[in-house]
């Protein structure tokens, strides 16, 4: 993927760019708002990572200008402002996701890859699958190796989120947001507990493990 990182702190920008390059992405790095607007308008990117506070032109205005020019490149906002109002403001300006500093690199990486493939996910899928597991979204049935699996509604939603991002890491916070609509970090390991319940039904009775734990990042379901 081609990714544009616009961040004025050189250390942070450097680590983000290095990390993304290690994952095999092509990364351009800029530290000034106006310059970023020109670059974004002239070149094609798959995802943009934009800090809200930038010299020259701030992140919000940068993204607003891009959207006004019909540029629909997915944008992940980085910010030190963690208030709900700030988040809403960011999304209203045309941002697709919002990450509050300080964040772990795994979180950023997972969200960047989730953004990049979003357009394809928009198509109405009625069946999700991974290996020998099939989930029918209409009849809300889950079958693995010909065996029907009974899931509680939240377990179903959890598995659905993992399947929708098959092969990619889904972080704990992404699951909290998408399954429970929670935007704070609970101190208790609630996601781990729910994942282990889900594993007990989806993985334990079978010889092959589908739901993998990615250390320091989150979970991934293998295709």
Partner 1 sequence: MRLRLPSIRRSTPLRLAGFLLALFACVSLASFGATYLLIRSSLMAGMKDDLQRQMAGFSAAPSASALAALIANQGAVTDPSRMILSYLAPDGQVYGNAALSRGPQGYLQIDLGPGKKGNPRNYFGLAGNFFGGQLILAESREPLEALGATFLDVLFLSLLPTIIIALGGGLYLARRSDAKVARITATLDRLTAGDLSARVAGLPRADDLAAIGDGVNRMAAGQEASTEALRQVSADIAHDLKTPIQRLALMLDRLAGQEGLAEPEAELAGRAREEAERIVATFQSLLQIAQIEGGSPKARFGPVDLAEVARTFAEIYEPSAEDSGQSLELALPEGATEVSGDRGLLGQALANLIENALRHTPPGSRIFVRVRVEAGGVVLEVADTGPGIPEEERGKVLRRLYRLERSRTTPGSGLGLALVAAIAEVHGAELELGDAAPGLVVRLRFPAA
Nearer to partner 1, 48 or 99 (CB): 99
173, burial (CB in 10 Å: exposed 0-12, middle 13-18, buried 19+): buried
Taking the complex as a whole, the smallest distance from the CB of residue 138 to partner 1 amounts, in Å, to 24
Cis previous bond, 30, omega within 30: no
Contacts with partner 1, 103-122, as mask; x by CB under 8 A: xxxx----------------
Name the minimum Å distance from CB 163 to partner 1: 21
Q: Which is nearer to partner 1, 137 or 182 (CB)?
A: 182
Q: Does 206 bind partner 1 (CB under 8 A)?
A: no
User: x/- string (CB under 8 A) for partner 1, residues 8-47?
Assistant: -x-xx--xx--x----------------------------
Least distance CB 102 / partner 1 (angstroms): 4
- CB of 166 vs partner 1, minimal distance in Å: 23
Q: Centre a 10 Å sphere on the Cβ of residue 17 and count the other Cβ atoms it contains.
A: 18
The SS3 call for residue 28 is strand
Q: What is the DSSP letter of 10?
A: H
Binding-site size for partner 1 (CB under 8 A) equals: 36
CB 177 → partner 1: shortest distance, Å?
11
Q: Helices H, strands E: what count in the chain? A: 9, 12
Looking at the Cβ atoms of 23 and 28, the one nearer to partner 1 is 23
Q: Which of 6, 194, 211, 219 binds partner 1 (CB under 8 A)?
A: 194
User: Rounded to an integer, what distance in angstroms lies between the CA atom of residue 25 and that of residue 41?
Assistant: 20
Strands, E assignment, the chain: 2-6, 26-30, 47-51, 75-79, 97-100, 127-130, 133-136, 141-144, 147-149, 170-171, 211-214, 218-221
Distance of CA 127 to the CA centre of its chain: 21
Q: What is the DSSP letter of 123?
A: S
* CB of residue 14 to partner 1, shortest distance in Å: 9
- Residues from 153 through 172 that contact partner 1 (CB under 8 A): 154
Residues that bind partner 1 (CB under 8 A): 9, 11-12, 15-16, 19, 53, 80-85, 100-106, 154, 180, 182-190, 193-194, 196-197, 216
């Amino acid at each position: 993927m081609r990714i544009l990182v616009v961040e004025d702190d050189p250390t942070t920008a450097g680590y983000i760019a290095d990390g993304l390059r290690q994952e095999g992405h092509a990364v351009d790095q800029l530290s000034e708002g106006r310059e970023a607007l020109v670059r974004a308008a002239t070149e094609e990117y798959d995802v943009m990572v934009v800090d809200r506070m930038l010299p020259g032109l701030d992140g919000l205005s940068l993204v607003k200008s891009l959207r006004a020019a019909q540029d629909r490149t997915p944008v992940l906002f980085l910010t030190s402002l963690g208030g709900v109002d700030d988040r809403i403001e960011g999304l209203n300006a045309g941002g697709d996701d919002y990450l509050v500093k300080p964040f772990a690199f795994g979180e950023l990486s997972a969200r960047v890859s989730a953004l990049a493939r979003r357009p394809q996910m928009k198509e109405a899928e009625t069946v999700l699958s991974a290996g020998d597991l099939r989930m029918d979204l209409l009849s809300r049935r889950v079958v693995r190796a010909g065996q029907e699996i009974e899931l509680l509604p939240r377990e179903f939603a959890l598995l659905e989120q993992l399947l929708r991002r098959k092969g990619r890491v889904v972080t704990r916070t992404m699951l909290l947001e998408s399954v429970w609509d929670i935007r704070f970090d609970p101190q208790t390991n609630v996601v781990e507990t729910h994942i282990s319940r889900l594993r007990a039904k989806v993985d334990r009775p079978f010889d092959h493990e589908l739901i993998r734990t990615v250390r320091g990042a989150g979970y991934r379901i293998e295709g």
